[in-house]
Amino acid sequence: MVTIKINNKKIKANEGSTILEVARANGIHIPTLCSNDALEAYGACRLCIVEVTEGKCTVIESSCTYPVAEGLEIKTDSPRVIAGRKVVIELLLARCPNVKAVQKLAEEYGVIDSSPDFGKENEYCILCGLCVRACNEVVEAGAIQFVGKGVDKIVDSPFHASAEDCVACGSCAFICPTGIVKKNDLATSATCSPEGTKEEGPKREILNWQVEYELKKCFKCGNPFAPQPHLDKLSKRFNALPQFFNYCPSCRNYIEVDEDKCLGCCSCMENCPVGALEVDDRGGYDKKAKVYTQNCMACHTCERYCPVGAIS
């Protein structure tokens, strides 16, 4: 543990934590647009800057990347900090004047408009990098990256073509603070060609990366719940059998055996992909299926093979 001061308040903090983490844990607000607990600190937006004094040296640093240390004195709302944040907000307002998150910050800090010298491009991407980092660090798909430099820098798929590595999980759309990443779940779809129109099932499209994948339907409720490439990737990553994703999260319940119906035919045991079922032989014809929940992955394969509907 180390002792630091934030806005003249003494705080005990775990060594290795960042200033932003400690501030949040103690109810001290520091604005940020590029921070997420699921991702490594990045320091892209520069809104979380604070004034850090260590000994006789005082610097302006991003709080999301600066680790706490014994004796640090931190100010989150000093005149220098507020002035720096206003510059950042003015630049964001010049690039993305219609983004609600930027408008809210501008109102909070009294930034009425950006300088005419900056020029308004009416963009919606603030280049926070959240979508890129989520795709690479969490999903591990690597489907999108930053492309270009300086004012031409954008988030894009390779060669501005359809992102072949995208699994349409939607993480980029979920984490985007501006809503520029567009994810659409279509209840029905169709492909038009000179031969005619071919009706297709539910699909998910990520417009920004030019991808479209069929959504898998739950075997129980029939509702589409996830794109097949995403489920395939999860199966490989967590070494799960494909049957695990036959049911949506809402319907993935562990099985129960109705002993009054069970014939002890062993069909469930023979077809269980993970060996979660055995037949309890009580002598003679008294045999009943028994499930070991610690092995069961709720794929319900056994339910489909039971001839008398004893498993549910």
What is the average per-residue pLDDT within 176-202? 85
Among 104-108, 118-122, 181-185, 254-258, name the one with the lowest average pLDDT.
Answer: 118-122
Among 196-200, 264-268, 270-274, 276-280, name the one with the lowest average pLDDT.
Answer: 196-200
For the structural domain made of 130-216, what CATH number should be given?
3.30.70
How confident is residue 287, by pLDDT bands cut at 50, 70 and 90? Answer: confident
Helical H segments across the chain, by residue range: 19-25, 79-95, 100-108, 130-133, 171-175, 228-237, 267-271, 301-305
As a whole-number percent, the residues of the chain with pLDDT over 90 amount to: 55
Q: What is the pLDDT of residue 286?
A: 82
- Residue 117 predicted with pLDDT over 70: no
The C-alpha atoms of residue 243 and residue 79 are separated, in whole angstroms, by 59
Mean pLDDT of the chain: 89
CATH class of 253-312: alpha beta
The C-alpha atoms of residue 43 and residue 134 are separated, in whole angstroms, by 15
Of the candidates 81, 123, 116, 131, the one whose C-alpha atom is nearest the C-alpha of residue 102 is 123
pLDDT tens figures, 17-40? 999 999 999 999 999 999 998 999
- Residue 289 predicted with pLDDT over 90: no
Phi and psi angles of residue 191, each rounded to the nearest 5 degrees, phi first:
-115, 125
CATH topology agreement for domains 2-83 and 253-312:
no
What is the average per-residue pLDDT within 195-200? 79
pLDDT tens figures, 237-270? 877 777 778 888 788 777 888 988 888 888 888 8
Count of Cβ atoms closer than 10 Å to residue 289 Cβ: 26
Q: What is the pLDDT of residue 106?
A: 94
Q: Can you give the residue ranges of every domain in the chain?
A: 2-83, 130-216, 253-312
CATH classification of 2-83 is 3.40.50.1820, yes or no?
A: no
Are residues 279 and 252 in contact, defined by beta-carbon separation less than 8 angstroms? no
As a whole-number percent, the residues of the chain with pLDDT over 70 amount to: 97
pLDDT tens figures, 51-64? 999 988 999 999 99
Sign of the alpha-carbon dihedral angle for 227, 229, 235, 241? positive
What is the average per-residue pLDDT within 216-245? 86
Query: Higher-confidence residue: 68 or 198?
Result: 68
